Structure 1
Amino acid sequence: MTKSNRGRPRAFDRDRAVLDAARLFWRRGYSGTSTRALTAALGLSTSSLYAAFGSKAGLFEEAVRTYAERYREIYQQAVAENDVRTVIERILTDSVHEFTQPGGTHPGCLISSAVMTDSTSTLDTSAYIAELHSSNEQALLVRIERAIQDGELAAGTDPAVLTGLIQSVWHGLSVRSNDDAAREGLLATAHLAHQLICRQLTSRTP
């Protein structure tokens, strides 16, 4: 008779483990998520978790990096557009689609949640998020400055103020997504913000 594989540990799926951990961190916060809760959710022993990720902090950092880097990609793809109006639209709407990914494949927007500041163990991760926001903002600022030089935007447009406005809308959408706002409502807000911004920027004094 063929022997059964009873008791055999399930294969380790790192991507799934990071997603499950990120979802748990999002719901409970960093300090509220115990190692025991993580091992139960991931189906790993404590020793296996440490072997794979080094520590709870290491697992948290990998989760944040995994799901935060997508926002850098969104900005990089948006600023490559030829029309600055499309740049603004894509930053806002593509981000909303990312914020509201199905829960089965996405943990929610960790980078705007309280989970980022609830423990001194997350200082390195917080620094990473600060760098991410700074990088995205700088990429947008450079693109807007170029649009002004090329005459795409009305004369007198302040690139720093416009960048700050777009970033403020972005952060507001992110926070609202964490409050379970529906994708349709967030997209409607993003489209309205885009329309109002572009209308103001393209108006010229006779």
Structure 2
Amino acid sequence: MAQRGRPRTFDRDAAVTSAMHLFWEHGFESTSLSQLKAAMGEGISAPSFYAAFESKEALYKEALERYMAIYGNLTRSLHDTSVPPREGVFLALQRSAKMQTESGHPKGCMVALGVVGAASTGSEAVTQLLREVRSRTRAGFRACVERGIKSGELRDTTDPASLAIAFDSFFQGLSVLARDRVRHAVIEKAVTEAMGMWDAATDRATPAR
């Protein structure tokens, strides 16, 4: 008698990558089990799916970890104290804008777009995961602003929280622009304009990058 269960063609690593792209494109709530199973290869059953990943939420967590492992380093400059603070902010925005408009994967940012896709009370665990990642990015912007104030580059009257949220708001909005197919060249110019918020808080003109 033939054994039932996971098909021979099942590749768990590839399955997580496929799930990452589906969740990235459609969000947590809108990605169905049937879509996930179809992306993992013909023949995988619901029992096999749950045996491999336990739940849709657990798979989302693993897919998000995969996303962060691949793309999370785009904002590493926010937390790197060896990088000048203004440059840290600029690089995070510039690199993210480039990635979010590239081909080969869904447009936008999986974390930012997941805000809408995981808003129900039934997915609070997913919402919390996304909130933690966004909070870390926001804290990175604030850390750069605080370093700028401490070094004297920014005026000591600068409100770290407000300026950090202004940059974070622009950062989160990149996903909408990318999904609307706004060209990278246009967004890149917008990043330069956004850095004017930093320059406005200085006592001297800072060359735009």
TM-score (norm 2): 0.78
- Residue 86 (structure 1) shift: 0.6
User: 1 CA distance for matches of 2:173 and 2:77?
Assistant: 21
**What is residue 9 of structure 2 aligned with on the other side?**
10
**What is residue 93 of structure 1 aligned with on the other side?**
94
Alignment of 1:1-206 (within 5 A): 9-10=8-9, 12-14=11-13, 16-43=14-41, 44-68=44-68, 72-80=72-80, 81-104=82-105, 108-113=108-113, 114-117=116-119, 119-194=120-195, 196-203=196-203
Moved over 6 A (4+): none
1:103-155 CA-to-partner distances (Å, cap 9, x unmatched) read 35x674222222222x4342111111111122222233233212212112234
SS in 2 for 1:201: coil
Report if aligned partners of 1:72, 1:132 keep a CA contact under 8 Å in 2.
no
Report if aligned partners of 2:86, 2:144 keep a CA contact under 8 Å in 1.
no
Q: Structure 1 pair 89/107, CA: closer, same or farther in 2 (3 Å)? A: closer
RMSD of aligned C-alpha atoms? 2.6
User: 2 CA distance for matches of 1:63 and 1:12?
Assistant: 14
- Residue 69 (structure 1) shift: 5.5
Q: Structure 1 pair 61/82, CA: closer, same or farther in 2 (3 Å)? A: closer
State the identity %: 30
For these two proteins, the number of residue pairs brought into alignment is 194
Report if aligned partners of 1:75, 1:91 keep a CA contact under 8 Å in 2.
yes
User: 2 CA distance for matches of 1:185 and 1:155?
Assistant: 33
SS in 2 for 1:85: helix
TM-score (norm 1): 0.79
Q: Structure 1 pair 29/142, CA: closer, same or farther in 2 (3 Å)? A: closer
- Residue 68 (structure 1) shift: 4.0
SS in 1 for 2:118: helix
User: 2 CA distance for matches of 1:58 and 1:95?
Assistant: 26
- Residue 172 (structure 1) shift: 1.3
Report if aligned partners of 1:74, 1:94 keep a CA contact under 8 Å in 2.
yes
Report if aligned partners of 2:112, 2:175 keep a CA contact under 8 Å in 1.
yes
- Residue 30 (structure 1) shift: 3.0
Q: Structure 1 pair 33/161, CA: closer, same or farther in 2 (3 Å)? A: closer
Report if aligned partners of 1:30, 1:115 keep a CA contact under 8 Å in 2.
yes
Q: Structure 1 pair 161/86, CA: closer, same or farther in 2 (3 Å)? A: same
Higher relative contact order (CA 8 A, sep 6+): 1
Report if aligned partners of 2:101, 2:108 keep a CA contact under 8 Å in 1.
yes
Code of the residue aligned with 1:25 in structure 2: it is F
Greater shift after overlay, 67-76 or 47-56? 67-76
